[in-house]
Amino acid sequence: MKVIVDPRMRYNYASWYLQGMSNFKIVYDVKPFKSLKYETEEDYISGFAFIVQYDDARTKRVFIEFNDLAIIYTDRYTWCDAYGMVNPKREQMQQYPKICAVGPECGLTLHPMIFTVFNSLWMFFKGKSFSKIPLKYYLRDFLYTNIRRSSLAVYEASTKIKENYVFHASTLWYDSYTNSNTNFYRGEFLKACKLNKLNVEGGLYLLGDRTIVDAFPEYAQYRERYKDFIFEKRISMDDYIKKTKESVVVFNTPSVGGCHGWKLAEYLCMGKAIISMPLSRVLPGKGLIHGENVHFVNSIDDIYNAVKLIASDAAYRQKLEQGARAYYEEFIAPSKVMERLIFN
């Protein structure tokens, strides 16, 4: 079996799926995909395409759409036989039969830096004849996987939990949804940890770009609103992963536009005890089940009580940890995602 991959990809998002293809023979060639337009940034962030050539001469066209927003790209949908989607809404699943909910993902380091740089140039020039996407986008997104991400093996490796310790590090985003949901509830989670007398490290990362305040004026109030939890110096990826694994509990909430954030994939992969606000996008299988592989909450009081329960009940915490990792291994692991898309 051979997999032909369109080189015109947003690599930091596609890396999760390329990891899942690591045992397959992969060929990068833009020609079979030239009917798919890559002229704008919106085209670039839409997702990436590949064609499976089976040993019995059958073929299957697959497109994986990983936009944060629940968008159906009609030209991509028409082209493919299977449309993998990170953030589908339930009504979209009913309306578009080709959709396969693939679940959350995150960027991964796949190769050493020098190989990544070479790959970015190689992919750019392989796709250049049928693309208007500038080289700087390729360089930015390829290099990001080495500078700000880590390998799947590092995420999956186990680390001992620290009792009464919580680590959380997330970005304060800048749109109306994250203002009233994502940012707000992350702040309430950190407050709940403090009230439960847990040792809290990390916080909420305040972006310093002045253009953000110009575009979303309320962002100027965040420094005061979240003053007890603000940090402005980037945490290394090694520290982020190590400390997250040591945390007795982690917190998840839908991110930009209600999407599955990268944190959900990270937490499931690490096998963490996850407190989560309700999810607005479809997950594979039966999804996450309260009390089995996640602890869902709906209010500030729920968050406080969930932190108290998980921090004090080791048996329940371990049940959630084992359930999260089991769900990851069955549905979210890159190899499992690719198996569903290629063989189902």
Is residue 210's pLDDT more than 90? no
Please give the Cα distance from 89 to 280 (Å, whole number).
7
Q: What is the mean pLDDT of residues 138-152?
A: 97
327: closest CA among 279, 277, 264? 264
Please give the Cα distance from 208 to 231 (Å, whole number).
11
* β-pairing verdict for 25-28 and 59-65: unpaired
| DSSP states of 109-153 | --S-HHHHHHHHHHHHHHHGGG----HHHHHHHHHHHHHS---HH
Q: Which of 108-117, 159-168, 219-228 has the least mean pLDDT?
A: 219-228
The residue range of the domain holding 207 is 154-332
DSSP SS3 for 336: helix
15 and 135 assigned to the same domain: yes
Q: Is 323 in contact with 272 (CB distance < 8 Å)?
A: no
Please give the Cα distance from 266 to 245 (Å, whole number).
10
179 and 127 assigned to the same domain: no
Confidence of residue 220 (pLDDT cuts 50, 70, 90): confident
CA terminus-to-terminus distance, the chain: 15
CATH of the domain at 218: 3.40.50.2000
* β-pairing verdict for 47-53 and 59-65: antiparallel
* Res 65: pLDDT: 97
DSSP SS3 for 222: helix
Please give the Cα distance from 249 to 119 (Å, whole number).
38
Total structural domains within the chain: 2
Is 343 part of a structural domain of the chain?
A: no
Is 337 part of a structural domain of the chain?
A: no
- Across the chain, which distance is largest between two alpha carbons, in Å? 63
242 and 277 assigned to the same domain: yes
126 and 212 assigned to the same domain: no
Whether this prediction's pTM lies above 0.85 is answered by yes
Q: What is the mean pLDDT of residues 39-44?
A: 95
Is 344 part of a structural domain of the chain?
A: no
Q: What is the mean pLDDT of residues 242-260?
A: 94
Structure tokens given for 261: 């954030």
128 and 178 assigned to the same domain: no
72 and 114 assigned to the same domain: yes
- Total residue length of the chain: 344
190 and 287 assigned to the same domain: yes
